[in-house]
């Protein structure tokens, strides 16, 4: 049985539902189910039929493109609490275009096709929010492709770590000290829970694990970041990006 307080709070953190009024959210809750995934558990595979929208309530997932030759997959994006996935297959009726895997223990609110279609038809704000969310996703993908084409591996790695730190901070998944102007502005130490292996990090930036290991060691030697067990400490994400580019 769904805990309505938990589910309502989780939906309110997602851009798709944040502006819906209380009756609309209640209507959505009638269709929502909570699903839990273990670390490294596959939510769905590329090519599976799509029948639901997933909103992450806690934890995080990676969206990957499997390699045809069986080598490490390309990680298109990582998503955390308040973000969503599975919408493309719902909208066009085609199979899932990528595989989604839990990076850590993850809870997702799953909205079935009936509830999704009902919201699109009866709640104009939901449709507009869905369009905005799709545009954001396309922009992220464009930036990812641009980085792969035009940036060297150290630049890609620095930019990706800085992006993860800022995104997690905005979602409330990190501890940060300093001014409240945002991690991207510089001058703020970010402590980020780090569920990624070095192979996964390499998959995010299109590099080999060995190359990523060497670059991380260089970043650490220059004081740009360091690890404390399962926590990544970035003293200044803005400096990380700027100095890596230099």
pLDDT tens across 213-224, in order? 999 999 999 999
Distance CA 89, CA 95 (A): 6
Tokens linked to 139: 């922009």
pTM of the model: 0.76
Q: Which residue has the tokens 């989780």?
A: 10
pLDDT tens profile 109-137 = 999 888 888 888 888 888 888 888 888 87
- What domains appear along the chain, each with residue ranges and CATH number? 4-146 (2.60.120.10), 152-245 (1.10.10.10)
pLDDT tens digit sequence for 3-38: 678 888 888 888 888 888 888 888 888 889 999 999
Backbone angles phi, psi at 67, to 5 degrees: -85, 135
> How do residues 79-111 score in pLDDT, each as one tens digit?
888 899 998 888 888 999 999 999 999 999 999
């Amino acid at each position: 049985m769904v805990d309505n307080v938990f589910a309502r709070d989780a939906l309110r953190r997602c851009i798709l539902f944040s502006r819906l009024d209380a009756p609309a959210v209640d209507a959505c809750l009638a269709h929502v189910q909570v699903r839990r995934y273990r670390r490294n558990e596959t939510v769905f595979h590329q090519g599976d039929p799509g029948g639901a929208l997933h909103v992450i309530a806690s934890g995080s997932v990676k969206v990957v493109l499997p390699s045809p030759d069986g080598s490490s997959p390309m990680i298109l994006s990582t998503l955390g609490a308040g973000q969503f996935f599975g919408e493309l297959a719902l909208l066009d009726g085609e199979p899932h275009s990528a595989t989604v895997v839990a990076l850590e223990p993850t809870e997702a609110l799953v909205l079935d096709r009936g509830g999704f279609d009902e919201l699109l038809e009866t709640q104009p704000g939901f449709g507009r929010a869905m369009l905005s969310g799709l545009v954001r996703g396309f922009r992220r993908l464009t930036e990812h492709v641009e980085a792969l084409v035009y940036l060297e591996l150290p630049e890609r790695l620095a930019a990706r770590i800085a992006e993860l730190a800022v995104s997690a901070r905005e979602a409330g998944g990190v501890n940060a000290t300093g001014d409240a102007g945002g991690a991207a502005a510089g001058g703020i130490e970010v402590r980020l829970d780090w569920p990624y292996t070095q192979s996964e990090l390499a998959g995010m930036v299109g590099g080999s694990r060995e190359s990523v290991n060497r670059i991380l060691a260089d970043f650490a030697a220059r004081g740009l970041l360091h690890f404390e067990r399962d926590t990544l400490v970035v003293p200044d994400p803005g400096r990380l990006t700027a100095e890596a580019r230099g």
